[in-house]
Structures are given as structure tokens and as C-alpha cells.
Amino acid sequence: MTNPRYSTIRQVAVHVPVDRQTGPEIEDEVRSRNPGVRLMPGLLRQMYGFEERRVAPPGTWPSDLAAAAGRRALEQAGLAPGAVDLLIFASASEDVEEPATAHAVAHKLGVTAPVFDVQNACNGVLNALEIADALIRAGRYARVLVTTGERSSRLSALPVRDRRELALLLPALTLGDLGAALLVEASDRPGILAAAFCANSSGWQAATVTNPYFGQADGAPAVRFDSAALAASFPGLEARAFDALHAAGRNPGDLDLVCVHQPSVAFTRAILDTLAVPEDKAVPVFTAYGNVATAGLPLQLAGAAEQGRLRPGDLVALFGLASGASGGLVLLEWSP
């Protein structure tokens, strides 16, 4: 295989569960599960701008959501599963600790190519795109299917003992379920133009989900989101990640569309302001879907395409911030 000059995203697809759960419904559920803990009505809307999320049916695995989206991407491209050279699963959720959830996704799709998982909190899909682009440019593969399946709504069922534990769990109450897939192919036209990633790993303890093999000796909750500590670990990451834009000879004013990680309405606005990007170049999804982690950026791409806001030749930035903490940007020219 000769080394291609470029890679491009040929298709983006999402699988959206039918069931919805509103903020008041989530708050009522938390009160019923934890009768000793008070939760102010409307708190999720007041704090995060949250309205509702999508919830997958009981018994749904992350691989089910990823496979459904992957199947749609292949169908849209008119391709059979055998046309995939590599499958990557890049989610914050997973079916099992071992083996890689990518195996389950591939099995459900009928894909027999090599597979592996990539995990970096909410930046997993961005990292997977960087890897897919590098492997395609190196001539290793011609077609890579990047998939993700987030099943994080299950975290809302975790018990809390007091107001402190509730505060640490609160951001998780906005997490929604979604599947997404991006088909990345070798191309002789510009597609993925640049990528940049950075990290402030000293902030890794701000947001954690406990490994099932290691219990918490102090009885602390399995999920811990310290919003203040997490926010304190981000400053500077967005500017460093956006260096890729300037290195490519572009500036924020050149962008036709900007997809950003959306854990709340206020956070999204703050990031757009920091990046000097007007809100009309973004695709708001948080209020209707909640925080869907790695699936959020593909969801915005798919939404923009459906709304007629994504045209061949458009300059698009995919920008992510994730617990850890890490920042990432993938710059692309839309050329499906």
C-alpha cells in the first residue's frame, strides 16, 4: 500500500436512544433512592442549564450503542463490514475490563479486522482520530472505523450518604447515553489537517470513577466529580491545544464550524469565549442530550450535517477538554 497524502472523515453517524429523562425526573429518582438527602428542585437546570438526556433501555451495553452507530455509518457509505481495515473503540464507558470492548463491537458488526480500545475520558474520540490519521498516512490502513458508546446514565443510580457525596455525584446526573461512529479513509484530498494535544496530569484526581478491582478504603463514592478542582486544572489547556490552528496558518475567524465538549451550557459558552469563537459557529447539544462524553463531538458533526450547516470545504475544529486533565484539537477540512 502506497502512503496516502491525507485522511478524511467520510461518514459520521450517531445512534440516539429513544427514551428521554428530564431534569426533574432525575432529581425525583435521586430523592427516592436517597431519602435522607435533600435535593433542591430545578437544581440541574440552575447549575448546568440541563433539560433532558437520552437513556438506553436496561440491558444495553456500550458496545450495543457503538455497533448501532457503526452499522449506520457503514450503511450510509454503502460499505460491507469486510471493508473495514481497523476498528477503534474510544469511549469512557466499556463493557468489561478485559478484553477490549472493540472486540464486542466488531463481533456485533461482523467486522473481522484488527481492533483495539483508546481511552482518555471525554477526549477518547479525538485521540482515536489522531491515531487513525497517523496510521492511514503511514500506509498501514486505508479505512478505519472509530466507534464509541456511552452508557453513563447508569451512574445516577449510585447511592449517596450525605450532601457532600451528592455534590461530588451531581455532574454525573447530567450524563446521557449515545452511540457514535466516524469512518476515516485514505484520501488524495485534504481532510484531517492537524491535531494537537496537551495535558495537566497533576489534576487527575479531580474527576474519577473507581476501578472495580480497587475498593475505596474510606467508603468514598465510586464516582467523584470535584467541579471546582476540575475547572482549576483546565486553564491554559485550551490555548495550547489551539496552537495547532495557528501552526496551520489559520485563526478562529477562519473556522466555519466549531464542535466543543459540552458538560454544561455555561462551560460551553466560556470555552467559546476563550477561543474567540462566536456561538453561531457552534452546535449546542447539551440541553437536549446532556453530557454524552466522547460521543458529543460526533453528535455535533452529525447535527450540523443534518441542519445543512456542514458543506464540503468547510474548516472545522473539534475541541475537547477532559478530566485528567487533557485538552485536544483536531482541525479538518470537511471533504466526505
Active site residues: 122, 261, 291
Provide Rg for the chain, Cα atoms: 19
Q: Are 141 and 2 in contact (CB under 8 A)?
A: no
Q: Tell me the three cell numbers of residue 166.
A: 451528592
Count CB atoms within 10 A of the CB of residue 167.
15
Report DSSP letters for 198-250, one per residue.
EE-GGGGGGEEE--TTS--TT---SEEE-HHHHHHT-TTHHHHHTHHHHHTT-
Q: Are 126 and 118 in contact (CB under 8 A)?
A: no
Q: Tell me the three cell numbers of residue 74.
A: 457503514
Question: CA angle 332-174-63, nearest 5°?
Answer: 65
Question: CA angle 71-310-9, nearest 5°?
Answer: 45
By CB atoms closer than 10 A (0-12, 13-18, 19+), residue 58 is exposed
